[in-house]
Amino acid sequence: MAQRLLGSLLVRRIDDQEVIVKIVETEAYHELDAASHTYHGKTARNGVMYGPPGYLYVYFTYGMHYCANIVCGPAGKGSAVLIRAVEPIKGREIIAMNRPENGQGINLSNGPAKLCQALRIDMQLNGHFLLDPPLILELTSPVAREQIIATPRVGISKAKDDLLRFYIRDNIYVSKLT
DNA sequence: TTTAGGATGAACT
DNA sequence: GTTCATCCTAAAA
């Protein structure tokens, strides 16, 4: 699913305006994965990951950042896909307003916490169902396999070698080229 | 161009 | 007390 979600769209309603972004980078986290929040079992924080797919899992980290995941596995499984970078498609001005100090170019949304700030995603949207407004996931046709690059994940200290990060080749909004 | 450190709070040992 | 699915700035190379 992490690969399948590449190229798909997130449609966000902010102040009665429509903002659309394309997912260009993802990471997969599963239950038997030492780097996953669910590795040590279910807690209050990661509960959404154990629910049915199609819901948003948001967590707060480093004392100041939010990151957003899409729950993908079946209910009870504790797996999700982290959205690491998106490309603005529509409503770039709204996104720039949400990132006042750093509102230029690729810096608008080329990182997991940056895109949350850009789309105003915080704990209020934790557990949100992604077929409902104000945040909707629109699956597009899959990106061709040759256009998908697989690499180790970013910023983790466990399960370092697993190739569970995926991004769209040549897209400038990818957080870190490798 | 690359690296180092600070911000800041929740979860975990 | 330590770690953490990060970001930003400033300093060093």
Task: Give the closest nucleotide to A41 (alpha carbon vs C1').
Answer: B12
What is the structure's pLDDT at A178? 67
- Tokens representing A28 are 């997969």
Query: Which H or E element spans position A175?
Result: none
**How far, in Å, is the CA of A71 from the C1' of nucleotide C9?**
34
C2 C1' – A136 CA distance, angstroms?
Answer: 38
When pLDDT is averaged across residues A59-74 and rounded to a whole number, the result is 96
pLDDT above 70 (res A103)? no
For range A105-132, the mean pLDDT: 96
pLDDT band at A101; cut points 50, 70, 90: confident
Side-chain-facing half-sphere of A15: CA atoms under 13 Å: 8
Integer distance in angstroms from CA A102 to C1' B6?
18
Query: How much is the pTM?
Result: 0.95
**Which residues in A74-164 belong to E strands, given as ranges?**
80-90, 135-138, 148-151
Tokens at A78, concatenated: 């504790």
d(CA A114, CA A88): 12
* A63 CB and strand B closer than 7 A: yes
Look at residue A162 in the predicted model and tell me its pLDDT: 94
Predicted local distance difference test score (pLDDT) of residue A29: 97
Give the pLDDT of residue A11: 98
Q: Measured in angstroms, what separates residue A20's CA from nucleotide C1's C1'?
A: 43
